[in-house]
Structure 1
Amino acid sequence: MKTQNLKQRFKATALALFTFTSMHSFAAPADQVIAVVGDSAILRSDLNQGIAEVTHQLQAQKKEVPPPQYLERQVLNQLILQNAQLEQVKRYGLKADEKSLNEAMLKVASQSGVNSLEAFQQKLDATAPGTYEALRSRVSEDLLIQRLRQQQVMSRIKISDQDVDNFLKSPEGQAAIGGQFHVIHMRVSGSASPDELKNVAQQLKNDLNSNDDVKSLEKKYSSASVKVEGADMGFRPISDIPAELAARVSLLNPGQTTDLIPVRDGIHLLKLIERKSDEQKALVPQYNTRHILIKTSEVVSPENAKQTIESIYNRVKAGEDFATLASTYSNDPGSARDGGSLGWVSPGVMVPEFDAVMKSTAVGQVSEPFETQFGWHILQVTDTRQQDMTREYQQRMARQILGERQFDSESDSWLRELRANTYVEIKDPSLDSKAKNTTNTADAVKSD
């Protein structure tokens, strides 16, 4: 998607350069408001910074830099879109998750050779006081925009049961669900910059097209700052491959390699060596589970909730009926009405802490009290089974494939509508006509 590609590159460059840029570059002594977007303003220094960042990235990639007026037009429109999205973030009251923000900041820090946020803050603020907080604010905005776009675009994607059935009956759908796949999996990670990691991954992809020797590829592309890991996964049913990756692999012909797959832990590549038909079912372990929950609140502290659940736990161990206690004391109204029963639960449905305790509790036993984000629990697994989830798995994968197809076009449509419905006033007459003539925001920088 063109708009999203420029957005991703613009943001990636901004984060890379921000670390080494003085705060003075963001606030010139005689700054000028060049555009008003809703309740926010775009300054001349913002535009200059954006142009510098995109120029730097294109030069680092050894790509031609567009003419200044053209690049200025692209960056201005991108800044307008960015501010329009931030206006929506405020409107919906979205707040950055502290854990996700810290993880994102730590990733930026590691790319600069720093292993802690404290050291990273000292390094940045030694360059110019306040640089760390400014970067943190910028990363927070980026995370919120991603979250906003995900929510807004996903709400526009409509996939009916009939769409799923039609896809599963198609040759592509049959290929996606009906066989075993021999796959090579490579991952590129390390402390190098995002651009360096991407360049190595692209070279690896080119080499992988004609080379299946995992060990030689690891040795060839690994360095002090780049770690390349690979594995020949052999033949395995599609149900054994994570759905996000399976959706990509299923569309390949033997000998083909996926595009670069950037995720939190690095850049992934998968090559399909061979596929063969298979009737193996996707059997999933399930646990018939019941629980008792004591929620924390303004009047119930975590310590009080813990003491209450420990008291209930001791009563269960002393022989009192679990279902009766759940109906009487549990703060989960949905399950309390049924003696605490959650029915048959598949792994991954509950929060990780609950999931881990459930899987480690023997049938008939009651777990010791444990805490999740919802409060304090005890649980009991009354039975286990292997459930054939083949049809459900196929339907989920089909929806994911169909959703990925729609996401880019729906994202473009949403951004166009957002731009059209946002109040924008260009203060600089020389930029006004340029902005009005801009209908596409990403021609200057295209994704590989």
Structure 2
Amino acid sequence: MSHPRIPLTAFCLAALAFLASGAQAQGITDFMRARPPQLRAPAPTPAPAAPAAGQPRQRVAEYIVALVNSEPVTNTEVQKRVERALRQGNPEMQRIPRAELNRMALERIIAEKAQMQTAKEVGIRIDDLAVDQAVENVARQNQISVDEMRRQLVAGGDTFESFRNDLRSQLTLLRLREREVEPKVKITDLEVDQYLQEQRNKAGGAAAPQEINLGQVLVAVPENASADQVAAAQRKAEDIARRARGGDDFAALAREYSDSPDKANGGAMGLRNADRYPALFTEAVASTAVGGIAGPVRSSAGFHVLKVISKAQFGDAATVTQTKVRHILLRVDDNRTTAQAVDILAGFKRRIESGTATFEGLARDNSQDGSAKDGGELGWSRPGLFVPEFEDAMNRLAPGQISDPVVTRFGVHLIQAEERREAKLSQAEQRDAARALLREKRLEDAYDTWAQEVRARAYVEYREPPQS
């Protein structure tokens, strides 16, 4: 089984769009266009202030503003979408008249409802376990607890249940995209050759996209920490930075002291385009040479000590962290629910750890993909090879460690990280990376075209215009 990496304008956690930076404001383009939105926790913002004493509270009238194939869109739905976008603080949003924001939100909701109806027709369903893991991923990538994320959501005027429902809808749209759009996007060898030649011609130029691999040690600062606690955390981070600059092994420091899930990987966060790291990180290491230490820098999660593991222009033979990995996959279908697959794989993990079974043997007898005959072996992986859910779980494992069951779009996995190494990308791997990047760009246009077609097929009846 292959695990193509699905770059989500949308989920790519691994896409690690939230990593250590907290939630990012949703862009106006996302608000206007019918894309599957990015899975992320809204930035903590205060709830709207209560009206002054004696001042009447304005109430939004509830009525139907449109029908999408007989499914209603209410004025409340539109106003909640607009308010959420405004709370997330995009300055461009603040300059747009409210009537235009209402219209944009209505069109976005209409497009989403048309797509959700299509997903229902083709039988796409997202169960509670998949939503639970998505919630945990968003919290972990923000480097906060689920409880803290719940508190931030409430402080921002949302409810945790509505956030879960949004995640379920987003996951549904992503599965629909995978089914309907991605199989149609192909990148030829000639296109890869042309792209690589373009990058070679631009080598050393400012336009060439830079890729970086950063390591981190996070010293977490608890919620509502006192000044003394913050100062103690800062002193600890400064001491770690001093030791790293003095020659102590950074990976060992990360494994011993870091509060981040990537500590098992020696703190390495993986080679990716610079714009896929938090701006806080890229600004901190902008003038730091390969092998150098930056920080500590402060985020909402705590203090980060950063190491520049590698920097490269795209297409260079960059050094990356590779993981030798194997897995057992159980597919979810009419005969097996996600919960049943999770229970079976949890039992497999207990048997392996107790010594009554081997990973290789259980994979060979039970795994439902092409790796079964090889005992589940997937070989040496480069960053970005697997889907984000799988890769995130793999990266958090120490060599020899076995994950808890992991839900992905393919089914449920039991994952074991066998070994790790630093290695340069081969020419074949560079071509694969170039192909993936070109495919990501092509998918954007293909998704837009498909979404417009779905919208055009829907019967839409406009009623009264939305009013705030």
With normalisation by structure 1, the TM-score equals 0.52
Query: Which residue number corresponds to residue 195 of structure 2?
Result: 167
Query: Which residue number corresponds to residue 33 of structure 1?
Result: 64
SS at match of 1:412: helix
Q: Quick check: 2:284–2:295 contact (8 Å CA) kept in 1?
A: no
Question: Cα–Cα, structure 1 residues 141 and 208, in superposed 2: closer, same or farther, change >3 Å?
Answer: same
Query: Which residue number corresponds to residue 155 of structure 1?
Result: 183
How far apart are the structure 2 equivalents of 1:218 and 1:282?
23
Q: Quick check: 1:13–1:54 contact (8 Å CA) kept in 2?
A: no
Query: Which residue number corresponds to residue 118 of structure 2?
Result: 88
Q: Quick check: 2:65–2:75 contact (8 Å CA) kept in 1?
A: yes
How far apart are the structure 2 equivalents of 1:20 and 1:150?
36
Matches within 5 A, 1:55-204: 55-57=86-88, 61=91, 64-92=94-122, 93-95=124-126, 97-103=130-136, 106=139, 115-117=145-147, 120=150, 124=154, 131-149=159-177, 152-172=180-200, 175=203
How far apart are the structure 1 equivalents of 2:83 and 2:331?
51
Question: In the alignment, which of 425, 428, 434 is matched to residue 392 of structure 1?
Answer: 428
Q: Which runs of 5+ in 2 are unaligned?
A: 1-26, 50-58, 225-274, 407-411
How far apart are the structure 2 equivalents of 1:231 and 1:118?
24
CA deviations 1:374-408 (Å, max 9, x no partner) are 79999999xx9999961221111111221232233
SS at match of 1:34: strand
Query: Which residue number corresponds to residue 79 of structure 2?
Result: 48
Question: Cα–Cα, structure 1 residues 18 and 307, in superposed 2: closer, same or farther, change >3 Å?
Answer: closer
Q: Quick check: 1:35–1:424 contact (8 Å CA) kept in 2?
A: yes
Deviation of 1:83 after TM superposition, in Å, equals 1.8
Query: Which residue number corresponds to residue 345 of structure 1?
Result: 379
SS at match of 2:125: coil
CA deviations 1:130-169 (Å, max 9, x no partner) are 9432332233323433443455443332202232233334
2:433 partner amino acid: M
Deviation of 1:44 after TM superposition, in Å, equals 1.4
Q: Percent identity?
A: 17
Deviation of 1:416 after TM superposition, in Å, equals 1.4
Q: Quick check: 1:291–1:326 contact (8 Å CA) kept in 2?
A: no
SS at match of 2:196: helix
Deviation of 1:410 after TM superposition, in Å, equals 2.0
Deviation of 1:32 after TM superposition, in Å, equals 0.9
Question: Cα–Cα, structure 1 residues 426 and 380, in superposed 2: closer, same or farther, change >3 Å?
Answer: closer
How far apart are the structure 2 equivalents of 1:122 and 1:380?
37
Deviation of 1:356 after TM superposition, in Å, equals 10
Larger Rg: 1
Query: Which residue number corresponds to residue 240 of structure 2?
Result: none
Question: In the alignment, which of 458, 465, 468 is matched to residue 422 of structure 1?
Answer: 458
How far apart are the structure 2 equivalents of 1:32 and 1:375?
45
SS at match of 1:167: helix
How far apart are the structure 1 equivalents of 2:423 and 2:299?
46
Query: Which residue number corresponds to residue 264 of structure 2?
Result: none
Q: Quick check: 2:42–2:153 contact (8 Å CA) kept in 1?
A: no
2:97 partner amino acid: P
Matches within 5 A, 1:334-373: 345-347=379-381, 360=400
Question: In the alignment, which of 365, 388, 392 is matched to residue 330 of structure 1?
Answer: 365
Deviation of 1:372 after TM superposition, in Å, equals 5.8
Deviation of 1:78 after TM superposition, in Å, equals 1.5
1:137 partner amino acid: N
Query: Which residue number corresponds to residue 250 of structure 1?
Result: 314
Question: Cα–Cα, structure 1 residues 226 and 6, in superposed 2: closer, same or farther, change >3 Å?
Answer: farther
Higher helix residue share = 1
SS at match of 1:346: strand
Deviation of 1:284 after TM superposition, in Å, equals 9.1
SS at match of 2:66: strand
CA RMSD of aligned residues (A): 6.5
2:185 partner amino acid: I
How far apart are the structure 2 equivalents of 1:232 and 1:46?
45
Q: Quick check: 2:81–2:105 contact (8 Å CA) kept in 1?
A: yes
SS at match of 2:184: coil
How far apart are the structure 1 equivalents of 2:137 and 2:416?
34
Q: Quick check: 1:36–1:42 contact (8 Å CA) kept in 2?
A: yes
Q: Quick check: 2:181–2:447 contact (8 Å CA) kept in 1?
A: yes
With normalisation by structure 2, the TM-score equals 0.51
Q: Which runs of 5+ in 1 are unaligned?
A: 23-27, 193-197, 239-248, 252-277, 317-321, 362-368, 432-448
Aligned residues: 350
How far apart are the structure 1 equivalents of 2:362 and 2:149?
48
Deviation of 1:285 after TM superposition, in Å, equals 7.8
Deviation of 1:63 after TM superposition, in Å, equals 6.0
Deviation of 1:421 after TM superposition, in Å, equals 1.4
How far apart are the structure 2 equivalents of 1:115 and 1:377?
23
How far apart are the structure 2 equivalents of 1:62 and 1:291?
46
Deviation of 1:75 after TM superposition, in Å, equals 1.9
2:162 partner amino acid: A
How far apart are the structure 2 equivalents of 1:170 and 1:50?
42
Question: Cα–Cα, structure 1 residues 16 and 331, in superposed 2: closer, same or farther, change >3 Å?
Answer: closer
Q: Quick check: 2:68–2:461 contact (8 Å CA) kept in 1?
A: yes
SS at match of 2:95: coil
Matches within 5 A, 1:219-258: 225=300, 229=304, 231=306, 233=308, 236=310, 238=312, 249-250=313-314
SS at match of 2:308: strand
Query: Which residue number corresponds to residue 8 of structure 2?
Result: none
